[in-house]
């Protein structure tokens, strides 16, 4: 086997990470500027989500945000179980179609990526659960039940957090709740990053932001890094997201950047690898309905603050994904910006 084989040798079902190759093929090597050993990495602070509801007496203590640890552990367990299934079982879900409601694939856009990423993933829609759950894997046994429970709990949390975000923008807690509650999309990205023999040369995912309103993430091991653009006088730095049992990460996605007319910025993040252990992450992406367009609220627009973004939907993002290359730095949010 030659190190210099081209990407077509590593299509899904046959990728280096699925085969557990003992070396990193050249087509997985990322440019030096993306490489994971940033000497100046720092650690991201933890925010106590339960405090969102501590704002005044009426709200204090009414809602308990804690998702039972068993639900988190069980979801990670069945996710791991899925990736450990025989290839034949996983291949039933193999698809390159970004519009498919359930699909198994590798890297970012399998077969098209100029650089391959050391990632295996299963993506599936999750809301409303009854509409999608029968399409999910039946194996490992308990996958549907345990992942379904996790999805439901995380979704409730997403509505709470979105309420706090719209309230912080002066739009009220319920500004989006009916649009997110009834028809909102929830896409679960179940990611697996096998041990990598050259963790400093390759990445699990390149720097990107999520199109969603927010993404709630559970991981079994550290590996995620986020970019803090304001650090070092604006030159920025990468910050490590530590693994703490029971802690969920919340990412601001492109659609909250639009919703806030740029007051919130979507967070750029990437996934680094390690040589010893398989990393599993569950990224739950929350947004409006497939064709429901997120636009800048008129309440946030005045003479000093013109509309800074075009409206767009989840479906518009999928169209963007088909035509563009995230691994080369293309960002959906950049296509939405209205230039002054």
Residue-wise DSSP of 283-300: EEEEES-TTPPB---GGG
Interface with ligand OGA (CB under 6 A), residue from 18, 113, 160, 210: 210
- Omega before 140 within 30 of 0, i.e. cis: yes
What phi, psi does 228 have (nearest 5°)? -105, 100
Stretch that binds ligand OGA, among 170-178, 217-225, 319-327, 330-338 (CB under 6 A): 217-225
Q: Which of 205, 256, 273, 288 binds ligand OGA (CB under 6 A)?
A: 205
Rounded CA gap, 247 and 324, in Å? Answer: 33
**What residues numbered 259-278 form the site for ligand OGA, per CB under 6 A?**
269, 271
210 binds Ni ion (CB under 5 A): yes
Stretch of 169-177, 190-198, 205-213, 304-312 contacting Ni ion, by CB under 5 A: 205-213
Residue from the set 29, 161, 169, 189 that interacts with ligand OGA by CB under 6 A: 189
| 162 versus 268: smaller Cβ distance to Ni ion | 268
Interface pick for ligand OGA out of 201, 239, 283, 288 (rule CB under 6 A): 283
Kindly state the smallest distance separating residue 47's Cβ from ligand OGA, in Å: 18
The DSSP code for 308 is -
Under rule CB under 5 A, residue 153 binds Ni ion: no
Q: Which does 267 bind (CB under 5 to 8 A by kind): ligand OGA, Ni ion, none?
A: none
- For the chain, counts of helices (H) and of strands (E): 9, 11
Structural contact between residues 151 and 164, judged by C-beta atoms closer than 8 angstroms: no
| Closest CB to ligand OGA: residue number | 281
Among 246, 227, 185, smallest CA distance to 50 is for 246
| Residues of the shown chain interacting with Ni ion in the complex, contacts defined by CB under 5 A | 210
| Residues of the shown chain interacting with ligand OGA in the complex, contacts defined by CB under 6 A | 189, 191, 205, 210, 217, 219, 224, 269, 271, 281, 283
């Amino acid at each position: 086997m030659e190190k210099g084989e081209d990407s077509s040798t590593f299509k899904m079902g046959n990728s280096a990470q699925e085969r557990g190759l003992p070396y990193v093929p050249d087509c997985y090597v990322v440019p030096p500027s993306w490489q994971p050993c940033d000497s100046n990495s720092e650690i991201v602070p933890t925010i106590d989500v339960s405090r969102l509801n501590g704002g005044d007496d009426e709200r204090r203590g009414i809602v308990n945000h804690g998702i039972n640890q068993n639900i988190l552990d069980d979801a990670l367990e069945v996710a791991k179980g899925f990736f450990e299934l025989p290839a034949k079982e996983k291949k039933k879900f193999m698809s390159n179609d970004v519009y498919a409601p359930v699909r198994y694939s590798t890297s970012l856009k399998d077969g098209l990526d100029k650089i391959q990423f050391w990632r295996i993933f299963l993506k599936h829609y999750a809301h409303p659960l009854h509409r999608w759950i029968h399409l999910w894997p039946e194996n490992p046994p308990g996958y549907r039940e345990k992942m379904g429970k996790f999805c439901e709990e995380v979704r409730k949390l997403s509505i709470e957090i979105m309420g706090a975000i719209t309230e912080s923008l002066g739009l009220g807690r319920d500004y989006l709740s009916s649009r997110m509650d009834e028809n909102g999309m929830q896409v679960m990205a179940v990611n697996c990053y096998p041990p990598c023999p050259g963790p400093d040369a390759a990445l699990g995912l390149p720097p990107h932001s999520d199109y969603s309103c927010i993404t709630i993430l559970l991981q079994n091991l550290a590996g995620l890094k986020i970019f803090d653009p304001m650090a070092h006088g604006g030159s920025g730095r990468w910050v490590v997201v530590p693994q703490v049992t029971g802690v969920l990460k919340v990412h601001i996605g492109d659609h909250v950047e639009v919703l806030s007319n740029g007051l919130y910025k979507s967070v750029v993040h990437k996934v680094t690898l390690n040589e010893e252990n398989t990393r599993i992450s569950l990224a739950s992406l929350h947004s409006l309905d497939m064709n429901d367009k997120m636009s800048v609220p008129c309440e946030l627009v005045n003479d000093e603050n013109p509309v800074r973004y075009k409206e767009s939907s989840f479906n518009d993002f999928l169209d963007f994904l088909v035509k563009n290359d995230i691994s080369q730095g293309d960002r959906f949010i950049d296509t939405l910006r209205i230039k002054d």
